[in-house]
Structure 1
């Protein structure tokens, strides 16, 4: 099997010294809780045509008034299958599959299926989940999520690294059973999304990349420095591949001042470019935009990013 970090889709998203850009789906306006699935496919096609690098899809099994995010999310595997067919070049990433709530064989099967449908454009992001009520609905407790995450990570990794074969050491495993279809590039890179209850050292030893949420620049620099040191300790030859989400309200005035939002920024494109240049200098390799606000259509913001922001980073 090839080194997952040499996977073509991984190398497009994570290049040392380069900053690439993607979007978190669904793209919604403020107050919109029921996004149109067909409109989301149009957004995906537009992002692909405009040359963005990645589309990220979340795993939200249940909605509840107790949860902070009221938006309805499609099942991630169904959503990714549709997006894979609707697009041609853009990389597809789970951000993230709630691994403890899914059987590891189902997760590996879903990953192999999207890999096949997308012709090798898929990266597998795994998280641990953080909603106690959701875990109880699945007959589990959040207190066991971190350990279950580690166990499932190793099982999924072995399954994707063993020609789709189950671990023969399993007491009831069928030694002749395989997950099909076969992976197009012999591997699927696995990303840790959030800390998942793990140490940074564990993530550095096991994940191809780490994706985390937005923090103000000074705090993000400190966090990245810890990550870089952990990666250098785990494998000095390994690049500290790092991605961050960024909630973005992009104003139509390019000179609008920058204001901090929860997990992001409200700013004009000049302020955004300044922030992104600093993130690239820090060492970040990918930014996933989470577009919010209802003052501008998402298509308009995507066009401005593609025409006036992204070219500064090529």
Structure 2
């Protein structure tokens, strides 16, 4: 009887002890997981200062590819980390500008837009204007790369937001002027370009403002900018472009002699200048010489088979 009793007692004791062991083991496992995650959290946050320093070093070296790679790793570990998002957006922007493949450039621009918009959500107040400025520039270049130019309004939005916040940059008004021009907002474009001239009088800017004045019917205001480019430029492409626009202005003013001189000068330097042939055709048409006019429009089509003006004139004069 004693042995049977002892056996049952031992079994009961084992049954009592087993659940306790399971509880202890479970607690140990949970504690282990807790320690692991705490260590991981501390390690990540302890590494942030070193990551920030590394990003600053890479930025100073203009090593945008390495910044792009490093921020991808940082965001994989800690999604929506503002510092990583900001650096990734900036790096993607400059990588896009360096691309020769438009599709690859567009892909980088998309990454820049997404990263900067996310970083803007949690950015410190004093950093938001700079991010808005970069977003405006990114949308401007995205607009250029896109088959359908739907992003000029976003470029204007973020650039004006940056200005309203007190942010300044030498190129901000030039970007604004070009974006307004894409939107057909000629007066706003001229105003922005005029502001830009106070810090920059590049040939590109002078030509841009002259085009806007011409588009707005203000030919007298456009001509001084074109004269400046012709007198100061050593770039033949700019000189010929200005001569073409001057020729168009002279035609609009019925000054056919000066217009003809501009177009003939262009053709001496570039015998395949379709627009110059087209302009000469317009002059001969106004002078009543349709034979010479059609001959020059045909030359324009030989230089550029799809020249819209010459195609229209040839079809309408049959």
What TM-score, normalized to structure 1? 0.23
Larger Rg: 2
Greater per-residue helix proportion: 2
> With structure 2 as the length reference, what TM-score do the two structures score?
0.23
